[in-house]
Structure 1
Amino acid sequence: MRHIPPLTAHLMGVDTHEEPIIFMRSDCAICRAEGFSANTRLQVQAKEHSLIATLNIVSNELLAEGTIGFSDSAWEFLQLREEQPVHVRHAPLVRSLSALRKKIYGHELNPLEIKTIVHDISRRLYSDIEIASFLTASAAGHLSSVEVTALTRAMVSSGNQLHWSGAERVFDKHCIGGLPGNRTTPIVISIASAAGLMIPKTSSRAITSPAGTADTMEELTEVDLSLEQLQDVVEQTGACLAAGGEVGLSPVDDLLIRIERALDLDSPGQLVASVLSKKVAAGSNHILIDMPVGPTAKLRSVEEANELAGLFRQVAKAMGLQLRCVITDGTQAIGYGIGPNQEARDVLSVLRNSPEAPPDLAERSLFLAANMLSMASGETLDAALPKAREILLSGQAWQQFQRICSAQGGLKTLQEAPHHCRLRAQRTGKLLGMDNRRLAQLAKLAGAPSSPLAGLRLHIKVGNSVIPGQPLATLYADTPGELAYARDYYHQNRDLFDIGPQP
């Protein structure tokens, strides 16, 4: 292969998220000699680091002659410095793409094929389009339990793995989502770890919701911990409430989630592999899965929940995990807050046993914590529930939460959103139901979770009576434009609050 002379690196200051992009001048002699054109996939070599990136052609004014520009993610991955020599050439054949095409045509993949796909994604050999193709084909083709198990193993192997010496049983908890305000995790972890369970909890940021646990916890403490910091926190307190991105546990999952978020896609097979790979990588072997079911939740029926629970159990058994799935009520939003800041307020009010704490969030958290305690002790749920309640009501859970936050960098003071407005009822009646999906969309249009202060605070629950002009919720936003945008959506979707006649 003919030697290609090096260009010198330049950071363009362009955030393309995780998609590696390089930039070359339209008059670049190397482009002409090698036949490079816009959207060509190129291999970039910088010392011992190598990356496949997509080429963008820019006007000559944007780059000095003899330089090659890099997006932020490509620059970071290659660990470049300004004016460092860089070699480029046509990308080599990515052999796992043949397995991808096999899946696109609806065929089942064997473990080796899945392993090579995950390996190539982790090495940044796949473009966003190719990752999207894999996710879409997997969702449309319904991954088998064998494929999901292989995907889970491959994703675990793609990154760091934690091992907790002397701890035979390590616990974790996950909710599959689809229910706004269901921020039970910080409360459950505080109760269960106060009871002596080890729980190295790492959470993803929101995929399709207005807040994930990591988004909410970031309002309360530092969550972007290094691997060493996470281990220190768990050693100090027996638990943590961290974001998973910085720790490098199942990093391929983070690459997939980025594309799933753009596609608004969360298929069962990918969901199971995503959840269990993070738990296994964190060293957990006893896992509780919360599965809310409701007409506008992610799971619409008990039958659908049982099918997903069956897949979870099959993969967990193959991975040597103890797993319990619990089906919970997903008919309406939990708590009063929707969005990172508002959900953080609910978490604090429950942990502090405040009079204004939402009863449904407290009771749901106690039920889940009791399930975790039951898994640990082998006792019945009826026996474990009073123990969980005592830990919460006595203040032990609040003390433990403060210890965790202190170890992670300190408990923050919650800020107030600069703009808000009330959403009011137009007629007399009774709240018969609320549309979880459109409530989540309303909060996202206000700016959540990108703007953590944005979101909603509900003022009524299903079964409450309303009169004209009564506030149904308060809408929060960072800017007047976002507030107006979300308010207009509400005015076009007032029926997301189903108000019917009084019986």
Structure 2
Amino acid sequence: MLNLKLIGIDTYRDNVAFLARNCEQYRPEEYQAFKKIEVKCGNTRLLAQLLLVDDESIVGVNQLGLSEQAFRRLGLEEGASVTIAPAEPPRSLDHLRKKIHGHTLDNKQIEEIIGDIASYRYSEMEIAAFLVSSAGFMTTSEMLALTKAMSQAGNRLQWKSPIIVDKHCIGGIPGNRTSMIVVPIVAAHGLPIPKTSSRAITSPAGTADTMEVLARIDLSMHEMKEVVEQCHGCLVWGGHVNLSPADDVLISVERPLSIDTREQMVASIMSKKMSAGSTHLLIDIPVGPSAKIRSHGDAMRLRKLFEYVGSQVGLHVEITVTDGSQPIGNGIGPVLEARDVMAVLRDDPDAPADLREKSLQIAGTLLENDPALRGGSGYKRALQLLTSGEALRTMERIIEAQGPTKTPSCLGELTKDILAPEDGIVTSIDCYRLARITRLAGAPMDKGAGIDLFKKVDDRVVKGEPLYRIHACFKSDYVFSTKYAEEGDGYTIGENL
């Protein structure tokens, strides 16, 4: 028996175990040959990668250390007695090998692969092999099986109301924080909209990152349900309520590899919405030259996939194709995006018109799912709820119910204005480049890092006039972001007409 010890090391998603090289009960060199070990205590088991330690101040000769993630997942108290054994390779690896060789997998095989991924039985190399082989060829039946398997692997929320509305944007457009405006509008009307959102992985901010500027987002399932009962809506981090956890694991590997096929995107989004208990879902597909989807033809193909899965799993899906040619709103980065959101909810005359209008359109479409609302009057009702202040009051109730943030975030004080190189008209803005500049400035880790936009497409500019202002919180981030912006500001300026 070994005594369990918490090692204060963040190993991201991986389970890591630490064993003293001079351990008295096991021969560590024998275990080091195995890719993983199994930690056991009664019926409680955990797979983990093993690292050997020479410093007894870290792990004693009769101890087994676990990283923060592994310790939390095992769920035992520090000092508990555990044993270790070589871990058997996941049986579903046989299915993965078939997929690598071009075979089509059946529902059961995909379910077993996803079950092992959700249980952290796959290494990153094995996950990457599954993603790459699936990206090369995936049938619609496999896509549907993948969606169902991911939705069944974690928690599933259930609600009393027969209608649960939700919305999701496929991403790729900086500043597109419509969810934080749509949720309070729809909730103010009385339609339940329990919004679970993600943190950013490669973008400057996810909805969860921006909402965290205003309120606590790491709610439990019980707390989340209480907020929805009180306010008809919430804006929380989906990762904390363990909805479709296999999807979170897959995303952590596919994003660095830039794997984002239509089939995997649809399975990812739809599995999360099924797990969240949604009945009516609106999908926003922005189309633009630097967006994820760059043509209306591709948007229509993606739409068909969403509609097909929705019809097979009993989820009513509506698709809206929107302008993705430039950032939405005036700010990119959590603090600046939260500023824009609250300006719209306050019905401030200086609030970003594009963010306001897009949010109203989406909210209006969702409100049309209310049988008591006359057809075609959704937009008018959304506008009424916004201009009357009811949406703002609902947002304030949601913030209070979730818990206002205890440490206010301030805008980064290290700033640099990026100036127009010539006179003319802004003809295009590269969303990807501006997102990259914002990430280099420190967002979303630093909530106050970001870009404040002064000019949008069709605006007239004069040489030397600021196009946007970079905000950073740390000198190194400031240097990285400003240098990258100087190499290419992301703006195209045409001649005066």
User: Normalised by the size of structure 2, how large is the TM-score?
Assistant: 0.95
**CA deviation map 1:370-390 (0-9, x unaligned):** 111223349898532222212
2:77 match: 81
**Comparing 56-65 and 447-456, the one that deviates more:** 56-65
Among 231, 235, 239, the residue aligned to 1:241: 235
Contact 2:411–2:447 (CA under 8 A) maintained in structure 1? no
Query: Which SS does the other structure have where 1:262 is aligned?
Result: coil
Separation of aligned partners in 1, 2:463 and 2:127:
50
8 A contact 1:316–1:323 mirrored in 2: yes
Deviations 1:151-199 (A, max 9, x none): 222122112222212x111100000000001110111111122122111
1:404 and 2:412 matched: no
**In structure 2, how many angstroms separate the alpha carbons of the residues matched to 1:381 and 1:269?**
33
Per the alignment, residue 165 of structure 2 pairs with 171
Give 2:386's aligned residue: 392
Equivalent residues of 1:31, 1:37 under 8 A apart: no
Q: Does residue 102 of the first structure (1) align with residue 95 of the second (2)?
A: no
Residue among 241, 256, 272 paired with 1:278: 272
- CA deviation after TM superposition for structure 1 residue 286, in Å: 0.3
What whole-Å deviation, never above 9, does each CA across 1:378-420 have from its counterpart, x for those lacking one? 9898532222212211212111111211111137755232322
- The yes-or-no answer on 1:493 pairing with 2:488 is yes
Counterpart contact for 2:21–2:28, Cα < 8 Å? no
Q: Scaled by the length of structure 1, what TM-score is found?
A: 0.94
Other-structure match for 2:329: 335
Q: Distance in 1 between matches of 2:23 and 2:261?
A: 43
> Do 1:208 and 1:264's aligned partners in 2 also have CA atoms closer than 8 Å?
no
Is residue 147–residue 270 contact of structure 2 (8 Å, CA) maintained in 1?
Answer: yes
TM-superposition CA deviations, 1:246-292 (whole Å, max 9, x none): 21222222222222343343332222122112211121110000000
Matching of residues 259-270 of structure 1 within 5 Å: 259-270=253-264
1:151-162 paired onto structure 2 within 5 Å: 151-162=146-157
Aligned-residue offset at 1:363: 0.7
| 8 Å contact kept, 2:334–2:447 | yes
Deviation at 1:429, TM superposition (A): 1.5
Read off the aligned partner of 1:267 and give its amino acid letter.
Answer: T
The answer to whether the 8 A contact 1:51-1:125 is kept is no
Matches within 5 A, 1:280-299: 280-299=274-293
Contact 1:38 1:56 in 2 (8 A): no
Separation in 2, partners of 1:106, 1:327? 33
Structure 1 residue matching 2:113: 3-state secondary structure: helix
Aligned equivalents of 2:270, 2:26: Cα separation in 1? 44
**Pairwise mapping of residues 109-258 of structure 1 onto structure 2 (< 5 A)?**
109-141=105-137, 143-165=138-160, 167-258=161-252
Alignment identity in percent? 43
- Provide the aligned length of Structure 1 versus Structure 2: 495
Tell me if structure 2 keeps the 8 A contact 1:54–1:127. Answer: no
Task: State the match for 1:50 in structure 2.
Answer: 45
Corresponding residue number in structure 1 for 2:88: 92
1:36 match: secondary structure: helix
Q: 1:38 & 1:498 partners in 2: Cα distance?
A: 55
**1:189 alignment partner AA:** V
Distance 2:372 2:267 in 1: 27
Tell me the C-alpha RMSD between the 2 structures. Answer: 2.0
Are 1:38 and 1:55, in contact at CA under 8 Å, matched by a contact in 2? Answer: no
Q: Gaps spanning 5+ residues in structure 2: where? A: none
Indicate the residue corresponding to 1:3 in structure 2: none
Task: Determine the C-alpha separation between the residues in 2 that align with 1:258 and 1:463.
Answer: 37
Residue number in structure 2 paired with 1:316: 310
Please tell me whether residue 475 in structure 1 is matched to residue 470 in structure 2.
yes
Output the amino acid matched with 1:44. V
Greater CA deviation, 361-370 or 262-271?
Answer: 262-271
Q: State whether residues 176 and 290 of structure 1, in contact with CA within 8 Å, keep that contact through their aligned partners in structure 2.
A: yes
Alpha carbons 1:197, 1:238 under 8 Å: kept? yes
Q: Quick check: 23-32 or 364-373, which moved more?
A: 23-32
- Indicate if the aligned counterparts of 1:207 and 1:260 stay in contact, CA closer than 8 A: no
| Alpha-carbon distance change, 208 to 106 in structure 1, aligned in 2, over 3 angstroms | farther
Gapped runs of 5+ residues in structure 1? 1-5
Cα deviation, 1:53-107, whole Å, max 9, x if unaligned, reads 1122333454322322221111111123334322111111311011112222232
Aligned counterparts of 1:285 and 1:258: Cα–Cα separation in 2 = 27
Which letter does structure 2 place at the counterpart of 1:415?
A: C
Give me the whole-angstrom Cα distance separating, in 1, the residues matched to 2:334 and 2:102. Answer: 39
Letter in 1 for 2:378: A
Q: 3-state SS of the aligned residue for 2:410?
A: coil
